[in-house]
Amino acid sequence: MTAIGSGVSVRPTNQADRAGVAYAKVVDADHRKNHGLYLTPVAVADFMAAQVTATGDAIRVLDPAAGAGILLCALVEALASRRKPPRRIDLVAYEIDPRLAELLNGVLNSLKARAAEWGIVISLKVICRDFVLEHAESLRNVGGFLPLVPDSEAFDVVILNPPYFKLNKADPRARAAATVVHGQPNIYGLFMAIGAVLLKQGGNLVSITPRSFASGPYFRLFRERFFECIRPVAVHVFGSRRDAFSRDAVLQENVILKGVRQDNWLTKKPHEDITISSSKGVVDLDSADSRCVRIDSVLDYSTKEKVLRLPVSDAEDDLTRLIDSWPGSLRAYGLRISTGPVVPFRATEFIDKAGQVPGSHVPLLWMNHVQPMRVTWPMGRHKPEYIKHAPESLALLVPNRNYVLLRRFSAKEEKRRLVAGPYLANAGTTSMVGLENHLNYVYRPGGTLTEDEAFGIAALLSSTMLDSYFRIGNGNTQVSATELRAMPLPALSVITEIGRQARGLGGDLSAINAVVMELAGSSRVNESIPAYG
């Protein structure tokens, strides 16, 4: 067999990469966005191919969003480099873009010719159809999730870099996947779910996707069904939002997941290990940090949420253990968290850029009014900061009481995920206040938070401890009320003492963070958590 990479021939993987880059240059940005065309870098493709452990004389491989074929090329090269390579590899590649599918066909036929030189027979099938709609029926099973397809149709390996964009609820793909997602699903989750359906028992699934599937209510049903049959074996976390797909200007927290199809593994092997590795980006993939932990320490399969946490260090393990040991929660303390009721485009007749407060209007607070440990109104910016105080608008207003206000979203480039500030009733002169829909607010039903409670909860949520904890289990820019309800909190006496001390610190964020660390942390955790930033 000819050695892989011998002579002066260009690697098939590099050829696929060049073809993909060239194609991306001749289509406009809207085309790339609508098709989710984010090219896999060569180093990432090689890393993903190395995760595949499927063996045998014949290996059947699926790439459901093949693009220019870089993942298939990298995988075939990796298989061919084994001490005992397969004799036959069957490749099935889906690509919905007709022009790109034609290019893909050429790339894979070139790969087929090279593989023949290595003594490997490749059968090739390029399908230019919508992968999700093609296999929608596989998600509509009865009496369980993810049925096994016949061995003749199943795959030993599914490797994928799927498109990612939100689908409208009316999209036929969203309706077809109602058993695994709800709301406006991100299409990449559908590719992962169907890919799992098409795997043989023991087959490998290797994907690079945004991290958002690992937590949050939108992917709850997906996680419940997916992890019933896919045992996660390894996850690689990219520390940089930009680096994994930097040439496509993608700003996402990406992870590479390797899973093995083992139906009902949770009841049979609940204490298996999982490898979690991390790198800043692509350039340091070869020197990635790696650690092996028990899977039940990162996948909470005892609840319906089934959040997959991804602590990348022993320090993050210590932090999660500490916070998980806290005895309280918002619910335990009789508190609730809700979303601001003012949806601007539905309330245009009530919101104004100027108004009389008190009198005809009350304050309308948006995300930009909330900074860590501070709520500032008015700010005199372009958004309307006033809402009419009238019988017709009362359903949109909340009583002017003490609250903790949190941004529901963080900007993708922001370092912090949790941004919270105390809102005190005595700061206003009205009986009501307006909260825009991009804010969450914590309150005490039928009463009010004390000022110490408001400051204490805001200080905790603004601390590096809880921000780091939240990031370990959340890859979204969205901060959902569901997750905050479940977040552990220290004893209420500790919260109020944090608040009492924080009130006297004049908004000094570093000093407030130090108070949280002193009263709610531990020496081991405090040494490993970075200073406030």
Whether residues 68 and 208 share a domain: the answer is: yes
Contact status, residue 517 vs residue 510, Cβ threshold 8 Å: no
Q: Is 497 part of any domain?
A: yes
What separation, in Å, do the N-terminal and C-terminal C-alpha atoms of the chain show? 56
CATH number at residue 514: 3.90.220.10
Whether residues 281 and 352 share a domain: the answer is: no
CATH number at residue 104: 3.40.50.150
- pLDDT at site 351: 96
Prediction pTM value: 0.86
- pLDDT at site 143: 43
Whether residues 361 and 303 share a domain: the answer is: no
CA distance 352 to 165: 33
Whether residues 134 and 214 share a domain: the answer is: yes
CA distance 502 to 495: 10
Whether residues 293 and 348 share a domain: the answer is: no
Distances (CA, A) of 199 to 60, 64, 79, 325, 495: 10, 12, 18, 38, 49
Q: Is 99 part of any domain?
A: yes
CA distance 130 to 295: 34
Rg of the chain, C-alpha, whole Å: 26
Domain boundary residue among 262, 278, 313? 313
Q: Is 224 part of any domain?
A: yes
Q: Is 319 part of any domain?
A: no
Model pLDDT for residues 346-366, shown as the tens digit of each residue: 999 999 999 999 999 999 999
Beta strands in 136-286 (DSSP E): 155-160, 199-210, 230-238, 254-261, 273-279
Domain residues for 143? 12-313
Beta bridge partners of 185: none
Distances (CA, A) of 54 to 138, 226, 313, 478: 23, 20, 29, 37
Residue 418 makes CB contacts below 8 A (sequence gap 6+) with 406, 410, 461, 462, 466, 467, 470, 479
CA distance 292 to 235: 10
Single-letter code of the amino acid located at 214: A
Single-letter code of the amino acid located at 39: L
- pLDDT at site 532: 59
Q: What is the dihedral of CA 358, 361, 362, 365, to 10 degrees?
A: -140
Q: Is 2 part of any domain?
A: no
Environment class of 302 (CB within 10 Å of its CB; exposed 0-12, middle 13-18, buried 19+): exposed
Comparing CA positions, the residue from 425, 441, 432, 422 lying closest to residue 340 is 441
Distances (CA, A) of 2 to 34, 81, 158, 235: 41, 10, 27, 33
Q: Is 325 part of any domain?
A: no
DSSP structural state of residue 478: B
Q: Is 135 part of any domain?
A: yes
Q: Is 320 part of any domain?
A: no
Whether residues 70 and 149 share a domain: the answer is: yes
- Phi, psi angles (nearest 5°) of residue 183: 70, -140
- pLDDT at site 244: 47
Whether residues 386 and 259 share a domain: the answer is: no
Give the pair of three-digit tokens for residue 372. Answer: 């860590």
CA distance 159 to 210: 15
Pairing of β 403-407 and β 432-435: unpaired
CA distance 484 to 461: 10
Number of domains in the chain: 2
Whether residues 298 and 259 share a domain: the answer is: yes
Whether residues 250 and 364 share a domain: the answer is: no
Q: Going residue by residue through the chain (533 aa), what tens digit of pLDDT does each one get?
A: 444 554 457 899 999 999 999 988 888 877 777 777 778 999 999 999 999 999 999 999 999 999 999 999 999 999 999 999 999 999 999 999 999 999 999 999 999 999 999 999 999 999 999 999 888 777 766 344 566 677 778 999 999 999 988 877 778 777 777 777 666 678 898 999 999 999 999 999 999 999 889 888 778 888 888 998 899 999 999 876 555 444 544 435 789 999 999 988 888 766 789 999 998 888 888 888 899 999 988 987 777 778 899 998 888 989 999 999 999 999 999 999 999 999 999 999 999 999 999 999 999 999 999 999 999 999 987 889 999 999 999 999 999 999 999 998 865 555 678 999 999 998 778 999 999 999 999 999 999 999 999 999 999 999 999 999 988 887 666 777 888 888 999 999 999 999 999 999 988 999 999 999 999 987 667 666 666 55
Alpha helices in 334-419 (DSSP H): none
CA distance 533 to 463: 9
Whether residues 236 and 301 share a domain: the answer is: yes
Beta bridge partners of 523: none
Whether residues 218 and 80 share a domain: the answer is: yes
Domain boundary residue among 279, 313, 347? 313
Whether residues 140 and 206 share a domain: the answer is: yes
Distance of CA 113 to the CA centre of its chain: 39
**Cis peptide bond upstream of 378, omega within 30:** yes
Contact status, residue 199 vs residue 206, Cβ threshold 8 Å: no
